Structure 1
Amino acid sequence: MDVTKPTPIMCITGQSDTHLTDIQNHRLHSAIISDFLALQSAAQKAGFELTIASSFRDFNRQSIIWNNKFLGIRPVYNKQQKVVDLTKLNDVDKCIAIMIYSALPGASRHHLGTDLDVFDKAAVSDDYKLQLTPDEYLQGGPFAPLSNWLDTNLDKFGFYRPYQHDLGGVAPELWHISHIKQSQLLVNKLSEQVLYECIKNSELQGKQAILDNLPAIYTRFVTNVSPP
């Protein structure tokens, strides 16, 4: 494949960054910049310093996160925020445990450039260690006011939360927002077969378990998101 001419498939699987624009030390899809800035400006007027914590992440970076978790180098948490003992799990169950909070490389919405994690920088001190955990965004947490504001304002600027609710796959992530129109245009190009080929040609830990169980994984963790 001629890497100088990235295909749409390369963009949605994290193997190209030609669709991105630099913004505030991050990278977002070029088509969503104006909508994001409008959202950020409205948040500022409401008293929030809406700040990007994480945006585009390519396949290689997502693979490092995945492999480190699979190998026990980085902790894996369940929905109760308890560390999972992966040594007691087979490869399939290890993968499922990881996907509660970390996307399968090739299927991460962070590959798209349309999805980002946000927080209210004004609500915490400069030395605050951001965790991106539910407690920070629920009642009593430092980002609960921003989260409540996003509940009623995201759609006005073309955004929504794909992991708003627990649907039995990825755990709720109130910090994760997505541009509705642009993300759907890209997600619609992804398929189980595209993902299969992407993973088959990778060096992911647990690769065979993933490929053998991809139909169930794809249904539970890739397409199973909250609607706009």
Structure 2
Amino acid sequence: MKAKHLNPEKLKECTGRTQNHLVQLDQDYLVHKEVLIAFNSLKEEAAFAGFDLTAVSTFRPFEEQLEIWNNKAKGKRALLSDEGEPLDFNSLSEEEVVFRILRWSALPGASRHHWGTDIDVIDRKGLPDENYRVQLVPSEYAENGIFGGLSSWLDQRIKDREAFGFYRPYDTDRGGVAPEMWHLSMRPVANEYLNDFSFEVFEEFLKSDAYEKMELRHIVLKNAKKIYEQFVLNVNLNF
């Protein structure tokens, strides 16, 4: 049974407003303290297979996710179609804008990256040159993409349950978050946060002062149940 209420510190962990549960992965990134050893073990195994498994995004605080959200809600950053193509912002209704954002970016306070359990990865050896800007798009992880080899290797490790607890929460299109083959999650720890983050907790937090500066908040509140079910709960359960 999911908890209806959380103590204040646990709520901060769930919603990206504390770093007390995190440790340094390297000079640039933080991860949950229970994720560090597992990721380094996976990185070592990847090296044996000829890949340089490298984190390019880990913990993301609430404020950073809020900035991403607001920029997209104002049309300052591109909104994408299901195929990853830019859309005409001015042709969309406010509700359409909200659901276009959610297809590719998490709601502030409801991102798995707040937990420190989820990591976006690349194969640094696959970079064509040092100036290449990683996009984190499906084509990079396709069979013939620059990170296709790593992606296939991860597929097999996850299938064989030899990925040290990591899996892909967005491995296929379930009508929520678009597939993200670069997105790994430490399932045992992440599931604890997901179980704690009940709809009651989510809805109550949406009404808090933390969202005072969030664009299109009224649309999010109106669609809270749908958003929770489609974009928070709707992840890979086959592990």
Q: Same fold (TM over 0.5)?
A: yes
- Within the candidate set 185, 197, 204, 1:178 is matched to 185
| Partner AA of 1:136 in structure 2 | E
- The CA deviation at 1:197 is 2.7
Give the 5 Å matches for 1:110-125: 110-124=113-127, 125=129
Specify the alignment match of 1:53 in structure 2.
Answer: 56
Aligned residues: 224
Find out whether 1:97 has 2:104 as its counterpart: no
Q: Distance in 1 between matches of 2:121 and 2:74?
A: 28
1:64 alignment partner, SS class:
helix
Runs of 4+ displaced beyond 3 Å: none
Q: Deviations over 1:90-118 (max 9, x none)?
A: 22211100011100111100001000100
Specify the alignment match of 2:69 in structure 1.
Answer: 66
The alignment's TM-score, normalised by the length of structure 2, stands at 0.91
Q: Deviations over 1:88-145 (max 9, x none)?
A: 2222211100011100111100001000100000111221110000000012100000
Specify the alignment match of 1:204 in structure 2.
Answer: 214
| Partner AA of 2:150 in structure 1 | L
Give the conservation status (yes or no) of the 8 Å contact 1:6–1:16: no
Find out whether 1:82 has 2:85 as its counterpart: yes
Specify the alignment match of 1:15 in structure 2.
Answer: 17
Give the conservation status (yes or no) of the 8 Å contact 1:50–1:119: yes
2:35 alignment partner, SS class:
helix
Percent sequence identity is: 39
- The CA deviation at 1:6 is 5.5
Q: Distance in 2 between matches of 1:83 and 1:42?
A: 37
- The CA deviation at 1:41 is 0.2
Specify the alignment match of 2:130 in structure 1.
Answer: 126
Q: Distance in 1 between matches of 2:148 and 2:43?
A: 17
Q: Distance in 1 between matches of 2:108 and 2:131?
A: 31
Q: Deviations over 1:43-72 (max 9, x none)?
A: 001000000010000111000000000101
- The CA deviation at 1:199 is 2.5
Specify the alignment match of 1:162 in structure 2.
Answer: 169
Find out whether 1:187 has 2:191 as its counterpart: no
Gap regions ≥5 residues in structure 1:
none
Specify the alignment match of 1:137 in structure 2.
Answer: 141
Q: Distance in 1 between matches of 2:206 and 2:62?
A: 10
